[in-house]
Amino acid sequence: MESTIRVRFAPSPTGPLHIGGVRTALFNYLFAKKHGGTFVLRVEDTDQTRYVANAEQYIVDALNWCNIPFDEGPGKNEKYGPYRQSERKDLYKKYADILIEKGWAYYAFDSSEQLDFHRKNHEEQGKTFIYNWHNREKGRLVNSLVLSKEEVQQKIDAGENYVIRFKTPQDETLLMNDEIRGTIKIETNTLDDKVLYKSDGMPTYHLANIVDDHLMKITHVIRGEEWLPSMPLHVLLYKAFGWEAPKFAHLPLILKPVGKGKLSKRDGDKLGFPVFPLEYTNEQTGDVSRGYKEDGYFADAFINMLALLGWNPGTEQELFTLEELVQVFDLKRVSKSGAKFSPEKTNWFNQQYLQTKSDEELTKLYIPILSKKGTSKDEKYIEKVVSLIKERAVFVSDFWSLSDFFFQAPTSYDEKAVKKAIKDDTKEVLENVIGLVKSVNDFTTENVQNTIKSWIVSNEIGFGKVMMPLRLALVGALQGPDVFEIIEMIGKEETISRIEKAIETLL
């Protein structure tokens, strides 16, 4: 038996998918999967002036990378297709006509110049021009509410431009329910008569959205807060058609990391983080926008981060698999207020997820980086390196800077480290260490460590006096994993060679 829960993600293909849009898709996906429902992708491409050719494929690729693929949509399980609004435009006129017949809509022939005149005239009087019950039937505006049927038909036959406007009811109090925000009260007298249909044969978002949600049997409309002002019109449209309205839930905005307002691409450019899931190339300008995938973020870390922007599980838990998110997600725990985006927290999530990846998996991601550096080693060797350095990494791309000394001798030495580690007797100390290293036959971490530490203790030398210059010789800096692990990994000959070079270079 098919679940009755059906949700949709309905982006416009006007450019790359912003992470705010991804979060909307994610919350729809989680809600659908929790209730055994269907997640629909519908492409709302009625605005042909802003249409971008590669944007739809980008949306599909982004959802797939995030591991939240749609169940129904363009080219996939087209049960209620087509799923591109541009391919459904013939049916919208039929529904616009139904509204006219029922007295819920009317033709308006006002030119843009006429409307501009009215706006300016109102501004001069300190008023705001609204096309609604105030003026739609007073004869100042040109519409089918004041014209005869014959006059209307003559204008249409003559090819005059027109729009079809919704006739907002007068003197009504509209009580609406939002699953997140509760009861919302609106006086219909404050609403304008929105355009539903244009004479170019294309519907506006409002008409197409309602018709498609009804025909696709959408039960819950989960969308961004920016659509909240459209909710009264949409509720009234359902009433006008005599259809049962879906349940509405308006998600809070994702806010800038600093300052006020909605997160934008400009914020990412300014502060150095991506705002799109995948890298995007504008085919017209050639401009490239950074993506989380290409910047080295794991998809599961990215999704985990997004889920907690505006929603909380009611516990202290922060790390969730997608399956766990599905189990615990609840619209009642979505916040009404905006959620501030944090680049630092996003990096923290990626670091946490990196630690959960197996050494084998991370090694496969590291090998291409090593190839670009012109170096290669046995896969088991690389895996061992990864195990020693991964806890200090945020991204796999950090691996090289954390482990280059496992693959090549240092070509320079950190100046601050040199000042700290090199003393008057360092040359003698390192020469003794060379002798100790040469004396170890079974060359293991434990044996090298025991040999050098025993010598330090028996000669009552400070550990730092030996270990700091030794690390500097091997790594080129005073950082990295256990020195004796490094020595075993690079081998006896390379260890001696590096110490000798450090003595020659620094002492």
Q: What is the pLDDT of residues 363-413, one digit of tens each?
A: 999 999 999 999 989 999 999 999 999 999 999 999 999 999 999 999 999
The end-to-end CA distance of the chain, in Å, is: 80
pLDDT > 70: percent of the chain: 99
Least confident of 79-83, 285-289, 498-502: 285-289
Can you tell me the distance from the alpha carbon of 450 to that of 134, in angstroms, rounded to the nearest whole number?
A: 92
Six token digits for residue 479: 């950082």
Identify the band that residue 8 occupies on the pLDDT scale cut at 50, 70 and 90: very high
The 10s digit of each residue's pLDDT in 368-381 is 999 999 998 999 99
| CA distances for 484 relative to 27, 342, 453, 489, 503, angstroms | 49, 38, 11, 9, 19
pLDDT at 2 > cutoff 60? no
Catalogue the long-range contacts made by 137-146 (C-beta closer than 8 Å, 24 or more residues apart). Answer: 141/108, 141/110, 141/114, 142/108, 142/109, 142/110, 142/114, 143/106, 143/107, 143/108, 143/109, 143/110, 144/100, 144/106, 144/107, 144/108, 145/106
Q: Is residue 284 within 8 Å of 53, Cβ to Cβ?
A: no
Whether 249 contacts 334, CB under 8 Å: yes
User: Residue 46's closest CA among 224, 199, 204?
Assistant: 204
Token pair 């971008």 is found at: 52
Q: Is 265 a catalytic residue?
A: yes
Mean per-residue pLDDT over the chain, rounded: 95
Tell me the residue type at 223.
R
Please state the pTM of the whole predicted model.
0.92
Please tell me whether residue 53 adopts helix, strand or coil conformation. Answer: coil
pLDDT (mean) for 269-294: 91
Q: Is the per-residue pLDDT at 1 higher than 80?
A: no
pLDDT, tens digit (0-9, with 9 covering 90-100), for 314-353: 999 999 999 999 999 999 999 999 999 999 999 999 999 9
pLDDT tens-digit profile of 198-226?
988 889 999 999 999 999 999 999 999 99
- Give the pLDDT score at 3: 58
pLDDT (0 to 100) of residue 173: 97
> Any idea which residue has 């981060």 for tokens?
305
Q: Which residues, 6+ apart, have CB-to-CB distance to 7 below 8 Å?
A: 28, 31, 32, 37, 38, 39, 40, 218, 219, 220, 221, 222
> Which one is catalytic: 198, 265, 364, 377?
265
